[in-house]
Structure 1
Amino acid sequence: MRISYRHIKRYREIAQVMIKYGFSFIIERINKDNGSKVDIDSTEPVDDIKKMTSGERLRYALQELGPTYVKMGQILSTRRDLLDKDMIEELEKLRDDVSFFETETAMKIIEDEIKMPVDEIFESISSEPIAAASIGQVYEATLKTGESVIVKVQRPGIENTIKSDLEILKRVSDSAQDVVADYNINLKDVIEELSTQLLRELDYNYEAINAVKMKKMFQYSEHVYIPEIYMEYTTKRVLVMEKINGVKVSDIETIKEKGWDPVKIADIGVKSFIMQVLTHGFFHADPHPGNIFVIDKEKIAYIDFGMIGIIDKKTLKHLNQFAIACINKDVDRIAYVLYEMDSIDENTDMESFRQEIMYMIHYYYDVPIEKISFGSIIGEVFSFFRKYRVKMPSQLVTLAKTIITLEGTGRMINPGFSVKGISREFAKNYYKESLNPKNIAKEKKQEAEEMFHDFKSMPKQIKGVLRVLEKNNLKITIEDVKMRRIEDCLKEMTTQMSMSLVLAALIVGSSLIIASPNLESSRTIKIMSFFGFFTSFIVGILLVIDIIRTRISKK
């Protein structure tokens, strides 16, 4: 697929940056496959760049390419199922290191979006932004009604830039597929997933709805607070949210000065996360220290709801079965659960697969859980999955990444924090939810409805099978079971059986002739008996040779 003419300038910029950081082979492959005539200077990377690792070169290239690629790198840094640990660690260093855009421009965007003058919406608004990111920048303000708020305003032109970059990526994905073949990555699917997430982040309504849903989940909680979203002033490019007055969870000194217990705060964070996952199947997927504030000795608040994870009950059930199988060191059960999840490739070497699983289980099983880093385990598991082409549902990948982030945040608050607390709470709450009579009744009702639906659709399915039979469309199935080989086996078996019957008949017949009282009086009878035994001997030799030949040919 050729690069669109309107994207030539941007493609040239991307190509130059990629060549600068030593990725010229990618550009050469894309140009060859697309028949590109774009004039691009091919220069060798400078010595300083040559000394960098592949991960470092990729990080610097993405930073230089701008907002779309920075965001892509940040999203890819969560995909431990796709990339190696070294690459992930470099991508995690990506930051939205961007300049501010003019406040005058931001005010114009607010007025265009809300259809009201700024001074009619806000009593006051900061003259300078307090933070800037690749997609937008943030201001402090006070509404006319007196509430303190945070105002996020999207960068001018950022939507067109991102959509242009995504279109280029989609057009070159087929050509670049071979470059990532060793990573078992379907580049087209990855770009499609990145595209979906980036386009959602371009719409602040999506983040607002996430926050509203999260607030409803914690509306009666004494330990978790979700800021108010002012939907009347929120649009695709502007988000107005209640300002949280608290202490960042990373500010440990201030937390201790206020007499708040970091251990209790970490415990609240874990329990709130478990509730999100198990009770609602909807969770904050980016619980890093900058997105959590402590507002009281026993109360935290979440902000920034652009990245949300969703997980269904069926996937949670598979996850629990997988965990139990690991605890029981049941390798066959682990393989079965992965089959149920459609995660194992049909060409997987199952013998090696089982052996490596057994090794990992035995390696970690007897290690004290306080000594284990969940991040390290996940990293090794995902490395194993890449090796054996195990495809994990994106829900579980997001959940694993969130737990890793949560563990890091928990250890920042409390150095003694370990994954033990998360796993213990997770197991306790999972079984509590599973054994809840209300949930059991709901599950059984759903199962009954599914069975009823299957029963209703069965006549239609049978009719479809009969139609296929009527049209004699079973030829492929017969060929798939190697009918010709079956025919050969039947021929061999029939031949040997026939020879055995002839042999038996000759022996029995010759024996009866010999036992005849007329044997001595008739020379003809003597000759017939001798001929019968001789023939049976020849037939027996031929039968043995045929059996031996058949067995040798099968080896």
Structure 2
Amino acid sequence: MTLDRRHRVGATPGAGDARTRYRRILRFASWNLAVTWWFELFLPRVGLRWVSDRNRAQRMRGFAKRFHDLAVELGGLMIKVGQFMSSRLDVLPPEITAELEGLQDEVPAVPFSEIRLLAEAELGAPLETVFASVEETPIAAASLGQAHRAKLLAGNAEDTGLSSVVFKVQRPGIDTIVDVDLAALRKVGGWLSRIRLVSDRADVPALIKEFAQTSLEEIDYLNEAANSERFAADFAGDQRVTVPGVVWERTTRRVLTLEDVTAIKITDTESLRMAGIDPATVAPVFASVMFDQLFTNGFFHADPHPGNIFVTPIAGASGERPWKLTFIDFGMMGEVPPKTRSGLRKLLIAAASRDGKGLVSAISDVGVLMPSADTAELQRAMTQLFSRFGGMGFAELRDVDPREFRDFGSEFGAVIRSLPFQLPENFLLIIRAMSLTSGVCSSLDARFNLWDSVEPYAAQLLRDERGNIVNDVASQALDAATVALRLPKRLDGLINQIEDGALEVGNRRLERQMERLIVTARRAVAALVFGALLIAGSVVRADDAVLGNVLMILSVIPLVHGLWSGRRRRP
């Protein structure tokens, strides 16, 4: 499909042609970069820092407001850029992030006539021959596409076992707009990377690369369908979670047809109560499911806002939880590599135990802090954070004096922004997922305390880590025992070769040195096995007293052997 054809099919309102759009984005960026250079770099150098400091917050809000207006007018990927910026609490000041929240809710719908043209071109047939019916009023309009309800034809419904479906279609021309926007962003990223003030704090080209990859994956509905099935496989047999089925026969790269699983929006507390569901019981289950994705599965929903999660009552079910959480929209997914997942586990355990120093150490292990970072101030800030606000629920935090929040937030934010760090791959998505999780849980229950969900999960992780330690110690003990059994025999063999003349060595002093080496080796191996068994016993004893005591008693054997070794001399 050519560029002209795409725009005849229909373009995002206000997008204009590609060249005009590209130039407009660059003009906006260049002007605001020039203003920032003047106030943040030039004026301080000539001794007028007070002029820059005096109205910095106002300038930041003004920039965010202008970008907000630009994003709403241009639509497309600019909406995503605004959302991306609103989540960069590590890089951008709060005056910017607060203004850009909620951009997704302001996206206008595309006329159904344009949606119809694109869908029929993708499916290769009129909609009337593909679906029994399609509702022209969208149930959701997003920056990259919009969704309509539909009914499958009788034959398809019988084959798939589905009748009601959601018919999701890309905004016409969105792939061209994404290409243009990414080209403009790469250009701006090149400018920013030459500014030391920015490059010292963030790898902008890397951030844009991460953003580009996520955006391109979102406009490939075949990728989203595959993500949906992978997510469903991760929770197969889990009674807490359900996922809509994919109608592959009616799915292409630009069209996605899914089972209609619309139910009660997770934050619609009034509807939940009418259905006999206590919202306070939903919050910890949702938090636990998100923890499983992040810390166990390593494949997580990166956009769990309230519109993407339903609470689905189970007809005729009885028991503790007669409902399920239904996840939809798997365009924005994240993966946590095993190394990062291990670091996140340590971070979660440190957070649950209110260990500020351990938390900073875990952050370093994850790769967030650069090796040159001085963590003393961050450790102090984290310790203060835990001692003052650790363990508080949302309702308790609302009772704290706002001035205390403001003062602490200002100091804590200054510490964070002064540190040289760069978020690893996908870490932005992790932060976004956890932030949305916390917000959803708090809206379900104002008294919800995230620590109540974190602590039992962290305790389980700690037990798992202990198990890993025991396995490691046992492996080391086995290796040490193998060495202990083989080394004396090999050394004896070497001495025999010397005695038999197989080696042309006839130095009695060497023989005595070899004997001492055997004794030293035996003692060293015995000490290693003793320490391994003693550590393993002390770790296991917390969960299994009998096994722990047995291991600790067995550790005496290599200890005695090591002390006795060498007392008998070769004749």
Q: Does 1:156 align with 2:167?
A: no
Q: Deviations over 1:478-502 (max 9, x none)?
A: xxxxxxxxxxxxxxxxxxxxxxxxx
Which residue matches 1:94? Answer: 103
Counterpart residue type for residue 150 of structure 2: A
Counterpart secondary structure, 2:103: coil
Q: Does 1:402 align with 2:425?
A: no
Determine which of 121, 128, 132 is the counterpart of 1:119: 128
Q: Deviations over 1:141-184 (max 9, x none)?
A: 01114410001111211111110121122234322435683482
Q: Deviations over 1:173-215 (max 9, x none)?
A: 3224356834822222222111111111111112111111111
Q: TM-score when scaled to structure 2? A: 0.64
Q: Answer whether contact 1:225 1:300 (CA < 8 A) is retained.
A: yes
- Cα 1:141–1:187, aligned 2, differ >3 Å: closer, same or farther? same
Shift of 1:84: 2.2
Counterpart secondary structure, 2:446: coil
Question: In 2, distance between residues paired with 1:170 and 1:204?
Answer: 24
Q: Does 1:173 align with 2:189?
A: yes
- Cα 1:132–1:440, aligned 2, differ >3 Å: closer, same or farther? farther
Which residue matches 1:215? Answer: 232
Structure 1 gaps of 5+ residues are 1-5, 30-48, 449-555
Counterpart secondary structure, 2:330: coil
Counterpart secondary structure, 1:370: coil
Q: Does 1:370 align with 2:386?
A: no
Q: Does 1:72 align with 2:94?
A: no
Q: Answer whether contact 1:278 1:429 (CA < 8 A) is retained.
A: no
Which residue matches 1:107? Answer: 116
- Identity within the alignment, %: 27
Counterpart secondary structure, 1:188: helix
Q: Answer whether contact 2:135 2:148 (CA < 8 A) is retained.
A: yes
Question: In 2, distance between residues paired with 1:332 and 1:100?
Answer: 49
Which residue matches 1:345? Answer: 370
Which residue matches 1:313? Answer: 338
Which residue matches 1:457? Answer: none
Which residue matches 2:382? Answer: 360
Q: Answer whether contact 2:201 2:421 (CA < 8 A) is retained.
A: no
Q: Answer whether contact 2:263 2:310 (CA < 8 A) is retained.
A: yes
Q: Deviations over 1:325-373 (max 9, x none)?
A: 567787776665555444443543x3xx313422431342354512479
Question: In 2, distance between residues paired with 1:329 and 1:221?
Answer: 31
Question: In 1, distance between residues paired with 2:245 and 2:181?
Answer: 34
Counterpart secondary structure, 2:168: strand
Which residue matches 1:506? Answer: none
Any residues of structure 2 matched to 1:33-48 within 5 Å, and which?
Answer: none
- Cα 1:96–1:163, aligned 2, differ >3 Å: closer, same or farther? farther
Counterpart residue type for residue 379 of structure 2: I
Which residue matches 2:423? Answer: 392
Determine which of 397, 409, 414 is the counterpart of 2:445: 414
Which residue matches 2:24? Answer: 13
Shift of 1:85: 2.6
Question: In 2, distance between residues paired with 1:427 and 1:241?
Answer: 35
Q: Does 1:186 align with 2:208?
A: no
Q: Does 1:303 align with 2:328?
A: yes
Cα-Cα RMSD: 3.7
Shift of 1:408: 0.9
- Cα 1:336–1:364, aligned 2, differ >3 Å: closer, same or farther? closer
Query: Computing the radius of gyration over CA atoms, which structure comes out larger, 1 or 2?
Result: 1
Which residue matches 1:270? Answer: 287
Q: TM-score when scaled to structure 1? A: 0.66
Which residue matches 1:456? Answer: none
Q: Answer whether contact 1:283 1:308 (CA < 8 A) is retained.
A: yes
Question: In 1, distance between residues paired with 2:215 and 2:397?
Answer: 28
Determine which of 215, 229, 248 is the counterpart of 2:246: 229
Q: Answer whether contact 1:279 1:433 (CA < 8 A) is retained.
A: no
- Cα 1:234–1:264, aligned 2, differ >3 Å: closer, same or farther? same
Q: Deviations over 1:429-462 (max 9, x none)?
A: 423554678x9879999xx9xxxxxxxxxxxxxx
Question: In 2, distance between residues paired with 1:287 and 1:70?
Answer: 17
